[in-house]
Structure 1
Amino acid sequence: MSFTLTPYQSNAVTLCVEEVRDAQRVFIERAKKTAVGLSAPTGAGKTVIATSVLERLIFGDETTEGNPGLAILWVTDDPALNRQTLDKMLLASAQLTDGDLVEIDTAFDQKRLDRGRIHFAHIHLFGKGTTSMQPSNSRENGLWEIVANTVEAYGSNFLLVIDEAHKGVEAKRDAATIIERISHGGTADHFTGRPHPAAPVIFGITATPERFKRAMDRAGRSLEMIEVPVSEVRESGLLKDRIIVRHPGESQAAESTLLAQSVVTLKEFDERWRAYTELTGAPLVEPLLVIQVRPGTSDAELGSYLSSLESEWLLLKGDAIAHSFESHATLTLPGDREVRYIAPDRIAADSRVRVVLFKSALTTGWDCPRAEVMLSLRVAKDYTNIAQLIGRMVRTPLAERIETDESLNSVTLYLPHYSKSEVAKVVQALGEDTGGDIEIAVEPVDCVKNTAIPSECFALLGALPSVARAKKPWRSQTDRLLGLARLLRGHNLVANASAQAQARLVGAIKTEVAVRAAEIQELVNDVMELDISETVWDNRRGQFVESDNQQSISTKVQDIDTQFNAAVRALPDATAKWYWNTLCDEMDDPYEAKAHVAALVKTKEMAIAFKKAVEAAAADQSEAWRVQYANQVSMLGKQARLDFEGAWNPRVGTLAVDIEIPASVSAPSETITGSGEHAVTSPVPVYDKHLYVAPSDHRVVPEGKYPFKPGSAWEIDVLEKEIGYATLVGWYRNPARSKHGLGVPYPDGEGWALMYPDFLFFHEVDGAIVVDVVDPHGHQGWDTGPKWAALSRWARAHHDKVRRVVAVIKVSDELKALDLTTDIITERLDECTTKASIEAVFAEFGGDY
């Protein structure tokens, strides 16, 4: 892969490859047709995962040889989606080339699909009306015949991939869909009159797997489903944290106002991204505004929209504005204005465009993470369509969470023609489309510092010890070392760090070669020369006998290349190529040098030994650099220290940081009550004494109040009880996954995760202000014990910073509290993995809240 896979992507790839290979074996051994499914939420990188899966199936991996005889048919319901996928694969893959990816069109005419290639087709090519794909005087092979011939000739070496596998897999009015016939066989009499054979193995890819599951069950196929949790995707930084929904009050004319406001928001995103690029050197993101206009919108209305856009920002004219209407022609509007057409799948790559107009759907082929603002000028009828579109806008533009400016982790939706009840339906649809794991903030208010709160509260908040996560995943110790080398060079600590790293790894290979010199030379000879034996059938004896005619011939360079490439795949990163470059300086024949490299993995035992040697050397060099440069790194900025910490300690991946006091805090002012057709928006309850409060000009939240949207009814009980204490001077809703919040690390099995206690309360006691941490939480999860054990350790380690740290649960409608500052509590909570075990600890050591 050209991309470094995240841990969840790498895990999904491994599982998918294993299941597909198992499915192929099942078909060979028992002729049983099966399916494998990949379910991952929008933004998870399904195409990147699928590309890696197909790469490993065709070219092999460290443990299994590839299958160059595999022919793959990738089917979707839209040609634009195929082109987009093909482009993504070329970008993501280090092994697939243009020649390996074939887009089937009317010129494609051969008996069967090619082995070792991925063929892209859309279902319309298989339809009755597509006569250009049927046998004729000018066409020898129809598309149905090509696929049928491939299935019959290749068997398990034919893999059907269905992208967006929730579409077209269920029959309509008792008639099989095209996808169903390709998948499970059936008649295709409009082409051949003969039954179409079923695909031996199906690999389905979808964000919503229920239809695919039902379809495979009806067809009698066993299905192995690999599902990627939304939480892991967002934790990786690939999904934005927040969707902001803005709408007017009831019966307010707001179209022009919110059109102008959407441009203001676009400009704010543009300014913030430019500042981020200047600060970090990251690629510049040029944000996009997507405007959905009403069907039947006149040219005069479109012209007025363009005038408004340009009046708000002079940049928005000419090529900066494009449309994706069904009519693909350039629009000519009053005043000799022209608006060019742009295909949805080309928007992301066209850096000139900053505003895109569309009428109905912009979901198929649509994938543009820089689209960060949407305005819908339609009436309230398109809840699901809007939700699907926004679902495509929650991907992070740089494939990582932005730590220095949290506003860049959001997407904004404006709905000028939606009432409160209609907004509620959109929000519910958004929750369903995003898996419920992305915060949806309706009419958020930017709360400012509460001037009635003593300044000591803010000072105490900033003094609480917190941690942040270093999120860089490393696929190997070698990858980690090379990443560390880039950091050292980038921060001017080691000018030739990459060269030093390569030299250390090549040196490790040479050391291992010296130990195994005789064995390796024999293997080099095996690579360079091919021994040919002769076996003869002896008619008199009625058996085969070995002939004395033995010969040795030189191996062709193509076969040496094949064995060399196997070594490149088996050894970490580019170490095989670096070793080859070194040998080329020592040997006259580059192919002899390749044979020496190939010999390193000629046997399984040898391959394991050299991989271990390289990985051990990489780990040692990383540690040596840590010891040598840790002090200098500690004087760098926060983000640089986080990056280094992720390389120093890849399993821990956390760094002690100070909580940054925000200038303002954003909080939703409205919430959703009811469900379905009865869903409406209602004001969020507001409270006094929060560290941040609404300004005077907000239309929903009164000045001096803070809107608190609770996760449960008993969170309100906890908050109201704490606010009721006469000593309380202020409180703070601790934000999760934020540099403005208190984070505490806890072990999650694979490494470390972060927990964020819900509330911080500030009390004045004996003339001094003290801090209490209170965490009301459901306790049914297996990780509740480890989380609170970690918070207990934190409380005891920083007893000088806090007065009390309390966990709160609800048992039989009664609130129970547990003081986390005592020694024995930590050990007991460490052992808790069930709801009952948590309740037992509260019963023994806790009391009424």
Structure 2
Amino acid sequence: MRYTLKDYQDDAVGDVLTNLKKAARDWKQDSDTSAFSLTATTGAGKTVMAAAVIESLFDGNTEHNFEPDPGAVVLWFTDDPSLNQQTRLKLMDSADRIPPSRLVVIENTFSQEKLEAGKVYFLNQQKLSKNSLLVKGGPDADDADTQQNLQGMPPPDNRAQTLWETLRNTIEDDNLTLYLILDEAHRGMKSSTPRARNEKATIVQRLVNGANGVPPVPVVWGISATVERFDQAMAQQQGRTKRPNIVVDPARVQESGLLKDDIRLDFPTEQGTFDTTLLARAVRKVKEASEHWQEYAEREDVTDEPVIPLLVVQMPNTPSDELLQLAFSTIYEHWPELPSDAMANVFGDHKDIGLAGFNVPYIEPERVQDRPHIRILFAKDAISTGWDCPRAEVFVSFRPAQDMTYITQLLGRMVRTPLARRIPGNDLLNSVTCVLPHFNRATAKAVAETMIGDRSHDEDGSGGGDGRRVLIAPVDMTPNPAIPEAIWQALDSLPSHTLPRKAARPVIRFTALAQSLSQDGLRKNALKETYKELCAVLDGITARHKGRLIAAREDVQKLDGETLLVSVKKKAVSEERGAFMELADDRAIDADYKAAGRLLTPELAKRYAEHLADEDDDDTLLDAHITVAALGKMQDTLTALDEEADKLTRSWFDHHRVDIKGLSDERQVIYDRIKGMSPDPQRIDIKRPRVRTEETQDEDGNPLDTRSLHLMADENGLFPVATLNEWEMQVLDKEMGRSGFQGWYRNPSRASDDALAVAWQDASGNWRRMCPDFLFFHGSGEDIKVSIVDPHGQHLSDALPKLRGLSAFAESFGEEFHRIEAIAKTGDQLRVLDLKKASVREAINSAQDAESLYAGPAGSNY
């Protein structure tokens, strides 16, 4: 892969591979068919995850211990030809181990007896419709279909077989396994009109279920943001095993930084016509965004081109010349220095617009991201499925309020972060602005509900997870000048947690750290040093377990078997059995060597074999391969390798801690990701916020209360307390009234770089991160003490798991805090758990519910 997968993406890839491994095994052994789905919100990178899975199918995956399937054939099916082309381009861009020649779009000229192993074929449903040249003359499943009249006719162009016959031949070949990927799977199960819906559903169902001599597809994998209809369709097919669906947690997607955190909604609060006024505001917003990105690039010394923000202007389906001309002239009136070629359109008619001296050419949607000279893009509805444009920072829609679906679909395509990561501590650069001239507060609220994941409004999966905010009256705050530097330094020194990984390989983590340290010039020859250390560990294993190694080597070099005597006459198996032994050939030894490489990593296996062998003697290299293969059969002894790799990784991180903190944001993110490649929470630093955005009004438009001495403040030194309930306000006011109070920090609700995050495990054992509500700073001068105070409802289902996570955090880092307290309201009384006390932590670990903890002897009045 050219891209480094986000944690949630890699976990999803591992889960998909587990399903595919079982599905292929059951198909080859028992001809059992199966189906499952991958669900992820729009913008989560479903195509990138699929690319990683396909690479693994063809070439294997060391990290997930997945063997390649030499007979794998992938058929990628959609209902949209343009989506196939976009997907092919995305796979070419992300999957560097799959050459373009292995990514085949099935056109009308396609003619093969069967599909080939190691290739991805792209097919759209139109190619299987009754009028397609690829299927004329073939059998049909529907007696009422007009295609029946074409049966018995020779295929067009003297084609040897129809596409249906090609699929049948592929499925029936014992050396091949056909994996069907239904992209945007929910769309294949529903259409806009009954006639189109019936034909499309028939095609998909026939492809999946088989008909008239074409057997069912062995493995069906549906990919979509919403797969309920897909699941229902799969459940209706008798005999197909339903494997566990993979559901990507929207909260993890949001936490990853791949999607923008905040969506700012601008709309008029009075009656009138404000099209040009708010378009001018949108132009001003995109100009401001350009300045902020330029400042960030200069501060971080970005060597590549800085982000060039784009303004997307959404028009009605049939915009008048008057409306278009008004929009063009307004844009240039407020941005006169805009170049003449800076506007483009992605209208469905694919035509250039020439109007009143303005020229607005058509451009394919997928090309917009890579054309930075385009600053203004005119669109109509959702442009096209699968399109996104991370540099789209501002959006203005001239569609009426009743077109909310079209607006949210297009807005959902604009939530990718430009750098595929969150900008640390800068809410402004982690947001997109949406300007709605024809909306009011009520209709804007409906947009907000969709974009934060309200399923009743969100059929296309545009909503985000926990952590996404939709802001109607935001204010951008900067570091409060009233806060002394000693408090900021205290914040800098606080610990935070990484999100642990399901599939954590200490050797991969260690080598990734070495590669990054070498790349940044922090440790010369780090990768060479790494493999030297790991080879020394393997030397120690072979020395300590010499006897087991000899036995394992013998196992690699020979094949044990037995012969059963079958009596045809007696129709019985004789109890006399003859054992035999054969020497393993080079192919068998190589297979064991590669299997060991999946445990050690292929590069370590290669380097250790070279370490053992005499480079001038091929026989010693074969002997070294046998030793490596033998180590692969001693899996329990490799625990020592993992332990040493983990120990060395921690040591190197400690040694280079200060150097790493001096790197750019982009590079520090890499090291945090490497540190997080562990099954246990790892300590990372909190980064200072630079721009903090908060809501300033309630749902009715009334101004919110504010408080002083927050680390981030508006121009008046105040911070709006937007999300605090009544008893959280009581906690805040009481802490501010304590002796020695110096300042406070409303910890971000999402686990961003400027948040103190605590890892915890949910009821299913999945790792999550929570952010305690408050950090309070007390003391004087340079003597600053920091306290975590977290008001949290004890009635919520996640209350006890979160308490256990905070308790473990307190056990690890309690000495660095003055207080670590969890607070809940029981009746009319606020109760507190002091997590710095060992007895309280013991009570939390043995508790059955959170409510009894607060009410019992472990708690006390706040």
Interval containing the TM-score (normalised by the shorter chain): 0.7 to 0.9
Deviation per CA, 1:501-543, whole angstroms, max 9, x where unpaired? 34545666678789799899989999xxx9xxxxxxxx9xxx9
The separation in 2 between residues aligned to 1:238 and 1:499, in whole angstroms, is 33
Counterpart contact for 1:111–1:141, Cα < 8 Å: yes
Deviation per CA, 1:29-87, whole angstroms, max 9, x where unpaired? 55543311111222322222222333333334455543222322110111222222222
The separation in 1 between residues aligned to 2:733 and 2:552, in whole angstroms, is 75
Deviation per CA, 1:583-636, whole angstroms, max 9, x where unpaired? 9992387xx798567545545745848976865664465456456555766777
The separation in 2 between residues aligned to 1:410 and 1:255, in whole angstroms, is 23
Relative to structure 1, is the Cα distance of residues 170 and 97 closer, same or farther in structure 2, using a 3 angstrom cutoff? same
Counterpart contact for 1:231–1:437, Cα < 8 Å: yes
Deviation per CA, 1:333-374, whole angstroms, max 9, x where unpaired? 321x33222222333333443332111222413022222222
* Matches for 1:684-703 after TM superposition, within 5 Å: 686-691=704-709
Relative to structure 1, is the Cα distance of residues 660 and 353 closer, same or farther in structure 2, using a 3 angstrom cutoff? same
Match of 1:407 in 2: 428
More displaced stretch, 78-87 vs 787-796: 787-796
* Matches for 1:121-200 after TM superposition, within 5 Å: 121-131=123-133, 133-135=135-137, 136-138=155-157, 139-153=159-173, 157-169=177-189, 172=194, 175=198, 177-185=201-209, 194=212, 196-200=214-218
Deviation per CA, 1:659-684, whole angstroms, max 9, x where unpaired? 7475x642224455xxxxxxxxx225
Counterpart contact for 2:478–2:714, Cα < 8 Å: no
Relative to structure 1, is the Cα distance of residues 436 and 824 closer, same or farther in structure 2, using a 3 angstrom cutoff? same
Q: CA deviation at 1:325?
A: 0.7
The structure 1 residue matched to 2:344, chosen from 310, 318, 322, is 322
Deviation per CA, 1:253-299, whole angstroms, max 9, x where unpaired? 33223323323332333333334344154754333222211232234
The separation in 2 between residues aligned to 1:35 and 1:524, in whole angstroms, is 37
The separation in 2 between residues aligned to 1:94 and 1:613, in whole angstroms, is 33
What stretches of structure 1 of length at least 5 have no aligned partner?
188-193, 531-538, 544-549, 673-681, 697-702
The separation in 1 between residues aligned to 2:419 and 2:114, in whole angstroms, is 40
1:827 partner letter: R
The separation in 2 between residues aligned to 1:570 and 1:635, in whole angstroms, is 35
Q: Does 1:203 align with 2:221?
A: yes
Of all paired residues, the percent bearing the same amino acid is: 31
Match of 1:298 in 2: 320
What is the SS of the residue equivalent to 1:689? Answer: strand
Match of 1:268 in 2: 288
What is the SS of the residue equivalent to 1:119? Answer: strand
Q: CA deviation at 1:314?
A: 5.8
2:35 partner letter: A
TM-score scaled by length of structure 2: 0.78
Q: CA deviation at 1:839?
A: 2.6
What is the SS of the residue equivalent to 2:223? Answer: strand
The separation in 2 between residues aligned to 1:816 and 1:599, in whole angstroms, is 67
The separation in 2 between residues aligned to 1:239 and 1:167, in whole angstroms, is 24
Q: CA deviation at 1:438?
A: 4.2
Q: CA deviation at 1:326?
A: 1.0
Relative to structure 1, is the Cα distance of residues 144 and 691 closer, same or farther in structure 2, using a 3 angstrom cutoff? farther
What is the SS of the residue equivalent to 1:10? Answer: helix
Match of 2:412 in 1: 391
The structure 2 residue matched to 1:667, chosen from 674, 694, 700, is 694
Deviation per CA, 1:409-451, whole angstroms, max 9, x where unpaired? 2222111221222212211222233244243333233255799
Match of 2:466 in 1: 437
TM-score scaled by length of structure 1: 0.80
Q: Does 1:246 align with 2:246?
A: no
Match of 1:466 in 2: 494
Counterpart contact for 2:186–2:229, Cα < 8 Å: yes
The separation in 1 between residues aligned to 2:10 and 2:813, in whole angstroms, is 36
The separation in 1 between residues aligned to 2:387 and 2:597, in whole angstroms, is 36
Relative to structure 1, is the Cα distance of residues 286 and 468 closer, same or farther in structure 2, using a 3 angstrom cutoff? farther
The separation in 2 between residues aligned to 1:340 and 1:34, in whole angstroms, is 47
Match of 1:840 in 2: 853
Relative to structure 1, is the Cα distance of residues 554 and 219 closer, same or farther in structure 2, using a 3 angstrom cutoff? closer
Match of 1:217 in 2: 235
Match of 1:495 in 2: 524
Deviation per CA, 1:482-506, whole angstroms, max 9, x where unpaired? 3323443344432332343345456
Relative to structure 1, is the Cα distance of residues 314 and 197 closer, same or farther in structure 2, using a 3 angstrom cutoff? farther
Counterpart contact for 1:245–1:440, Cα < 8 Å: no
What is the SS of the residue equivalent to 1:495? Answer: coil
Match of 2:140 in 1: none
What is the SS of the residue equivalent to 1:208? Answer: coil
The separation in 2 between residues aligned to 1:646 and 1:36, in whole angstroms, is 30
* Matches for 1:292-371 after TM superposition, within 5 Å: 292-299=314-321, 301-313=323-335, 316-335=338-357, 337-371=358-392
Q: Does 1:480 align with 2:509?
A: yes
Relative to structure 1, is the Cα distance of residues 19 and 796 closer, same or farther in structure 2, using a 3 angstrom cutoff? closer
Counterpart contact for 2:258–2:416, Cα < 8 Å: yes
Q: CA deviation at 1:165?
A: 1.2
Q: CA deviation at 1:375?
A: 1.5
Counterpart contact for 1:760–1:774, Cα < 8 Å: yes
The separation in 2 between residues aligned to 1:605 and 1:564, in whole angstroms, is 8
Counterpart contact for 1:291–1:376, Cα < 8 Å: yes
Relative to structure 1, is the Cα distance of residues 304 and 708 closer, same or farther in structure 2, using a 3 angstrom cutoff? same
Relative to structure 1, is the Cα distance of residues 211 and 638 closer, same or farther in structure 2, using a 3 angstrom cutoff? closer
Counterpart contact for 2:427–2:693, Cα < 8 Å: no
Match of 1:256 in 2: 276
Counterpart contact for 2:110–2:134, Cα < 8 Å: no
Q: Does 1:785 align with 2:813?
A: no
Deviation per CA, 1:80-126, whole angstroms, max 9, x where unpaired? 22222222223333432223221111121122222332211011111
Match of 1:11 in 2: 11
Deviation per CA, 1:213-239, whole angstroms, max 9, x where unpaired? 222223344422111111222223322
More displaced stretch, 276-285 vs 14-23: 276-285
What stretches of structure 2 of length at least 5 have no aligned partner?
138-154, 455-461, 560-567, 574-580
Relative to structure 1, is the Cα distance of residues 33 and 751 closer, same or farther in structure 2, using a 3 angstrom cutoff? closer
Count residues with an aligned counterpart.
Answer: 807
Match of 2:142 in 1: none
The separation in 2 between residues aligned to 1:626 and 1:253, in whole angstroms, is 59
The separation in 1 between residues aligned to 2:787 and 2:595, in whole angstroms, is 59
More displaced stretch, 57-66 vs 7-16: 57-66
1:231 partner letter: A
The separation in 2 between residues aligned to 1:364 and 1:638, in whole angstroms, is 32
Counterpart contact for 1:688–1:704, Cα < 8 Å: no
1:757 partner letter: P
The separation in 2 between residues aligned to 1:5 and 1:243, in whole angstroms, is 25
Deviation per CA, 1:123-153, whole angstroms, max 9, x where unpaired? 1111123346535340333223322333344
Relative to structure 1, is the Cα distance of residues 822 and 694 closer, same or farther in structure 2, using a 3 angstrom cutoff? closer
What is the SS of the residue equivalent to 2:245? Answer: strand
Counterpart contact for 2:824–2:854, Cα < 8 Å: no
1:324 partner letter: V
1:350 partner letter: R
Relative to structure 1, is the Cα distance of residues 607 and 273 closer, same or farther in structure 2, using a 3 angstrom cutoff? farther
Match of 1:455 in 2: 482
Match of 1:39 in 2: 39
Q: Does 1:818 align with 2:840?
A: no
What is the SS of the residue equivalent to 1:844? Answer: coil
Relative to structure 1, is the Cα distance of residues 57 and 449 closer, same or farther in structure 2, using a 3 angstrom cutoff? closer
1:494 partner letter: R
Counterpart contact for 2:262–2:427, Cα < 8 Å: no
Match of 1:22 in 2: 22
**RMSD over aligned Cα atoms:** 5.0
